[in-house]
Amino acid sequence: MPSRLMPRSHEAWLLVVVLLLCILLSILSPAFLTFRNAQDLITTNAFTAILAAGLLVVLVSGGIDISFTATATVAQYLAFTVANAYDVGWLGIVAIVSGVGISLGLLNAVLIQILRIPSIIATLATLNVYYGLLIFVTRGDYIYALPQWFNSGIELFAFRDGDGNYFSLNLQILATVLVFAATWLILRYMRLGRQITAFGGNREAARRLGLPILKLQCFVYGWMGFCAGIASLVQAQLAQSIAPTVLVGRELDVLAAVVLGGASLMGGVGTVLGTILGLALVAILQNGLILAGFSSYWSGFATGLVIVVAVCATAYRTNRAEALVK
């Protein structure tokens, strides 16, 4: 049997699929496999990607969070209301979005761990509360004028190639890379991350081991909130305005990308590499189909089909593996 050549892990399967997709699309469209397109892909998907990094940690801990889009909206609205009134600078604005994000995340952790509300209900409730109150207070007004220094963004190592294309390491790419690197380090190498994985894998065992569960939960939802704050900043810089109604409703897209990456809703399972590949699969599919000349109206269908096939394949493989163990 060719089993020796077959990929074993979920990540390996995803990698094969993503690579095949890349090869196919680069044949169909010469514009696909360019440095320029790669930069655009990461820049436009940075918001989803950063949120996915946060949600991965929540899923690994065995919980779920759907309030993060509301957290992001509140964070960016508050940050830019302050930034338009006072000269806070980059450091100030990052501090505000992180502070708001972490606080709202901690509130989720309190509801979940101290009031014992199941995470899906608690975060569903806070999604409505955060978002409802924000729109109530702000009347849904947009903020069109952002500070000039913010609108111009960050551009490191900027250069222009022979064809006049402009490249730089922008805010979106920088933030995405940093958040993913941090999440990877935490989950893989820090005691905190190993404890979160253990807790997600078996709550009762984690409790009997004496793991600091409240602390872990606070970190998990705090980190999700922090990621939501950073993601909101990145999105605001890309959109060059704050629209309080556009982010809420995108929770399930982020969830889909993370579970495509192999994270289990039951907890204890999930890797940063898998999440990146899951994100890449959706992003490349949508971008590539448009470049290859397919109507953008059908991209939702293609994404849905990929998600359904992927979750079926994963379940099929898991069940077969379990049957073999027996």
CA 297 to chain centre: 24
Site for other proteins in 102-121 (CB under 8 A): 111, 113-118, 120-121
Options 22-30, 87-95, 149-157, 293-301: segment touching other proteins (CB under 8 A)? 293-301
* Phi (first) and psi of residue 266, to 5 degrees: -85, -10
Q: Does 302 interact with other proteins (rule: CB under 8 A)?
A: yes
User: DSSP character for 113?
Assistant: I
* CA neighbor of 90 nearest in space, from 156, 170, 168, 147: 147
Q: Does 124 interact with other proteins (rule: CB under 8 A)?
A: yes
**Residue with Cβ nearer other proteins (59 or 83):** 59
The site string for other proteins over 78-97 (x = CB under 8 A, - otherwise) reads --------------------
Q: Does 315 interact with other proteins (rule: CB under 8 A)?
A: yes
| Rg of the chain on CA atoms, in Å | 20
The site string for other proteins over 270-289 (x = CB under 8 A, - otherwise) reads --------------------
Q: Does 255 interact with other proteins (rule: CB under 8 A)?
A: yes
Cα torsion for 26, 30, 35, 36, to the nearest 10°? -130
Q: Does 7 interact with other proteins (rule: CB under 8 A)?
A: no
Options 4-12, 48-56, 143-151, 315-323: segment touching other proteins (CB under 8 A)? 315-323
Q: Does 303 interact with other proteins (rule: CB under 8 A)?
A: yes
Q: What is the DSSP string of 39-53?
A: HHHHHHHHHHHHHHH
Please count the other Cβ atoms lying within 10 Å of the Cβ belonging to residue 216.
21
Q: Does 312 interact with other proteins (rule: CB under 8 A)?
A: yes
Q: Which residues contact 229 (CB under 8 A, 6 or more apart)?
A: 71, 72, 75, 97, 98, 99, 100, 101, 102
**Residue with Cβ nearer other proteins (35 or 298):** 298
**Residue with Cβ nearer other proteins (160 or 317):** 317
Give CA–CA dist 31/126, Å, rounded: 43
Written as six digits, the tokens of 239 are 């959109």
Site for other proteins in 180-219 (CB under 8 A): 213-214
Considering CB under 8 A, how many residues would be counted as binding other proteins?
Answer: 54
Give CA–CA dist 203/200, Å, rounded: 6
**Residue with Cβ nearer other proteins (179 or 283):** 283
Question: Do residues 267 and 59 lie in contact, with contact meaning Cβ atoms separated by under 8 Å?
Answer: yes
Cα maximum dimension of the chain: 68
Q: Does 304 interact with other proteins (rule: CB under 8 A)?
A: yes
Options 152-160, 187-195, 267-275, 300-308: segment touching other proteins (CB under 8 A)? 300-308
Chain residues binding other proteins by CB under 8 A are 66, 111, 113-118, 120-122, 124-129, 131-136, 139-140, 213-214, 249, 252, 255-256, 259, 265-266, 295, 297-305, 307-308, 310-312, 314-316, 318-319
